[in-house]
Structure 1
Amino acid sequence: MEIIKEKSELQKISNGTILSPRGYKAGGVHAGLRYAKKDLGIIVSEVPASCAAVYTKNVFNAAPLQVTKDSISIEKKLQAIVVNSACANACTGSRGLEDAYEMRSCTAKAFAIPEHFVAVASTGVIGEFLDMQKIKRGIAGLNPTAENSGAADFETAILTTDTINKNTAYFTYIDGVKVTAGGAAKGSGMIHPNMATMLGFVTTDALISSESLQDALLQITNRTFNQITVDGDTSTNDMVIVMANGTAGNKQLDENHPEWSKFIELLTLTSEDLAKQIAKDGEGATKLIEVNVSGCRTEEDAQMAAKTIVGSNLVKTAVFGADGNWGRVVAAMGRSGISFNPEDVTVSFGETVVLKSSEPAAFSEETVTEYLKQDSIAIHVLLNEGSGAGTAWGCDLTYDYVKINGSYRS
């Protein structure tokens, strides 16, 4: 346990991963569900951990989500998360549920932990059955490690159409001890979450109850994972899970702890990093789009408006073509469902104001075009209704998105 006298500000860890917090191992293998790449991964805590989870609001809840909900409901503790790619095990009826429970059982036996301490997640094609012989052989071959290679193997094993591994980690000091959070995620298409996004996994060595962790995750999800969109589709398998194993040595955290806000910031930045990486890696995407809306009556209004704008296909295609067509921004704003005065709206692309108090502003088209050619761009919308502010992230819509999804199963 690292104890210091001076409290430090929150810091990002260079090359941080799910293994940056104390007391975790991870790994991944090629079980044969995919042609060649790793397709089965695991995260293991050295001790049972407090846990929290959020799930898709899609009516079709995949079998792994049902099993994970069952596991968490028993003691609100987890010690392992097993994940496969290539097959979502969704819309697979009673056989799919039996397979998900068998996946949990095999993992528990392999790592000598109670079955209800195991969460299960799957991602891939909907409506196909898991090859359980391959799954069982893969679980038997898992050899998680605390080395960085274990995190990389896990990150690779959970990917589908993703083009990059997604990871992050931050640390801060609470009660004079170092507390760390790390994360891994997958997601590239079918990204328009409600309560979660595709698959996200966060580990922390903080000491916190499962109840307080769940409250924190719900609060943070609405500002991070729920504020990204790629294509307007919410998957059957969306889930975010957090494990907190308490090995950092801090006093137990809850809403009354004097440094509760530090933990919230730690978890928020970890989640936001993963969310932005998912948005940037949208299928076929070439640019990350950030939309900031301020001056709304409430934060909820601002979040709704920002997500509507960043999810607009016309806004996304304009950004792809580096076309400073601010009319598409205000059109999306107008259908967002929030109340505002349409006679007092200001829109900027980066630092260039293109609409001032709902009057067209004089600006250089060339400057805006050059700005929109960048890898990451920001659109700002300012109202005059109140102090509510919100941010959402997405990506441009390209020709490659159609190519990727037109041949997803081939």
Structure 2
Amino acid sequence: MQIYKVGGAVRDRLLGLPVTDIDRVVVGATVEQMQAQGFRPVGADFPVFLHPSTGEEYALARTERKSGHGYGGFVFHASPDVTLEEDLIRRDLTINAMAEDDHGQITDPYHGQDDLKARLLRHVSPAFAEDPLRVLRVARFAARYAGLGFTVAPETLELMRQLSESGELQALTAERSWKEISRALMEDRPDVFIQVLRDCGALKELMPEVDVLFGVPQPEAHYPEVDTGAHILAVLQQAARHQLPLTVRWACLTHDLGKDLTPPGLWPRHIAHKRRGLNLIKAINERFKVPRDCQELALLVGEYHTHGHLALELKASTLLELLQSFDVYRRPQRFHDFLAACEMDARGHTGLEDRDYPQAEYLRGAAKVALAVAVPPLVERGLQGKALGEALQLERLKALQSYKERY
């Protein structure tokens, strides 16, 4: 029985990056031998065990062959006869197909170290094209390591293109797709993830609502980059730069979907694109079974982001309606996330990345003023039910009017 660290633990150590998760593969062992040593089996599809003391995962070396469509369409074979090289060749990228023993000795049959030095994301074997999930994984790795200069090898990008055109991406479950998408959006360069998907034709298969934004023009006076798709990438990059949460990053990706529905004859203006885009945001939310908090913020940002930009021009009554739309009295954080998305939208322009955004501070102040309106004095006046609600609204409106006059 021989035990090796494999995959990301080896890759990241060689890159000088922190190692968080450690995967181990066991060569030359049977299920019975593992259980005899106290390892607890947990794998449903292939033999994976938990260490009796540390709880870390150990997987038996295995081979696989394609048996159907999609991510789950594989038959696995694990036995003591499976070699380390046979186990490594089924992995996606050469930089993930290295192993390290307890003495620090590296086994690298597919030249992963060479590709680390060349900063290339290259597939291990033609079997790469059997698993559609790898398209998303490679794009995610590109987003993670773009800052180190990594790019996708041309021949790997071609295989990704073939996978995208094969229809196999449609076999991915919503859950698996969202897991990769959400992880990629939280990488340092989520814009690279979207760009790589577009480069290989996967974006139009998975998120056609986003793909069609490339080539849609916007007014150059407000959008120096002109292209709506390029703007979306810039907004995502700003969201990552400011280390914003997943809810905000998803909203940044989807906020301008309605601009594709503008008739070309009206370009580059996009009047009422916000409301027109809501059904598209709903569709993409449903397709990937996006978590509720991400869904809700995406829809609110899609509908109201121009309110954020025009905040200082809004009437007090419109300010009040905006605060109510976000249920700011019970869910203040959602409103703050909205302001963050609006700020990223404003900064997602060529040459304007560090611009001031006073609208955010103004709207935070408006929310604070509305929240400060006290209910007890109204109750003491004998108001209740509908009358109490109307009086509370009136007092909040007065407070916002006063705030607007003072600002």
Q: TM-score, normalised by structure 1?
A: 0.31
Q: TM-score, normalised by structure 2?
A: 0.32
Give the strand-richer structure, 1 or 2: 1
Q: Which has the higher contact order (CA 8 A, sep 6+)?
A: 1
Whichever of the two has the greater Rg, that structure is 2
Give the helix-richer structure, 1 or 2: 2
